Amino acid sequence: MYGQHESTWGIKIVNYLFLAGMGAGALAVGASLHLIAGWEQVLLPAAVLGIVLVSAGSLFLVADLGRPLNFWKVLSNPASSMISIGAWILTLFLVVAAGFLLMANAGGPPGWIRSLSWASVVLALATASYTGVLLGVVKARPFWNNPLLPVLFTVSALSTGSGALGLVDLFQGGAEFQLLGQAEMGFILLESVMVFLYLAIMNHSTVDAMRSVRLVVSGRLALPFWGGVVGLGLFVPLFSYLFLPGETGVAMGAVATLGGGYFLRHTFMFAGLRPLLPGEALEASFLVKR
């Protein structure tokens, strides 16, 4: 309704934010568990999820370009824009993840695998945070202009990545799904605090950011926010892990976490309202009165 509600991007970018974040989160969690606890059984599924999901997300990003076949030009000048920087981050992520997959699958030297694990964690966190930076650099959308947004998207990426890894481990009959579920619950608790902290901060920011918060809390985005982000993405996983036994709780919690992660990006992206242009507020007021 009225021009101020138009979004900079559409559903393709939501899909990119979700898939790339989840893939990066899965590799970050898997590589971290290898470095901290010596878990080798999570290396292959983490690398596969990272490559497949980030590649799929990147295709949505390329498809959103005006001329998708010219996407290679984005890589020709790495410092020209944040999109170019992000393209190089995604490319390096996929290269390192592929090397990580090949080395882990071939049973390469432990030192090499450990080095690739460190590189994977760094590039995975960079990829996950870039999904928030991509929105934050759009200055015409005040709701996105907060350094907390990349941090929130990174935490959400880690929670969805843990959920995806847990589902794979559960499907394969592994024994780590419970610990992955516990890690996921920790990320969800942190994410829930950050979501409401973000809204509270933006509600005391500019007038246009406050309009976005109202849109999320009580406007046309209230259903995906309260039902999708809070209900499905935060309440259901915590309830499942705390009150449902074993595999049932982990499976239900992981699926709900993935759904909540998607609604988080959908809600926050479409909540990015641009400021009203001169005369638009008067025009909107006149049309409503009529």
| 279: phi then psi, degrees, rounded to nearest 5 | 95, -20
Average pLDDT on 180-199 reads 92
Chain centroid to Cα 237, Å, comes to 17
Evaluate whether 59 touches 89 at the Cβ level (below 8 Å): no
Q: What is the pLDDT of residue 282?
A: 45
CA atoms within 13 A on the CB side of 29: 35
Higher pLDDT, 272 or 81: 272
Residue 72, pLDDT > 60, answer no
**What are the structural domains of the chain?**
3-289 (1.20.1630.10)
Evaluate whether 208 touches 274 at the Cβ level (below 8 Å): yes
- pLDDT tens digits for range 236-252: 999 998 888 778 888 89
Residue 13, pLDDT > 70, answer yes
Angle between helices 110-136 and 148-171 (to 10 degrees): 130
Q: Which stretch of 56-65, 89-98, 143-152 has the lowest confidence by average pLDDT?
A: 56-65
How high is the mean pLDDT of the chain? 84
pLDDT classification of 286: cutoffs 50, 70, 90: very low
Higher pLDDT, 96 or 74: 96
Higher pLDDT, 279 or 44: 44
Residue 280, pLDDT > 90, answer no
- Backbone Cα Rg of the chain: 20
Higher pLDDT, 37 or 225: 225
Tracing tokens 């200055």 back to the chain, one arrives at 139
Rounded Cα gap, residues 49 and 27, in angstroms: 7
| pTM listed for this prediction | 0.87
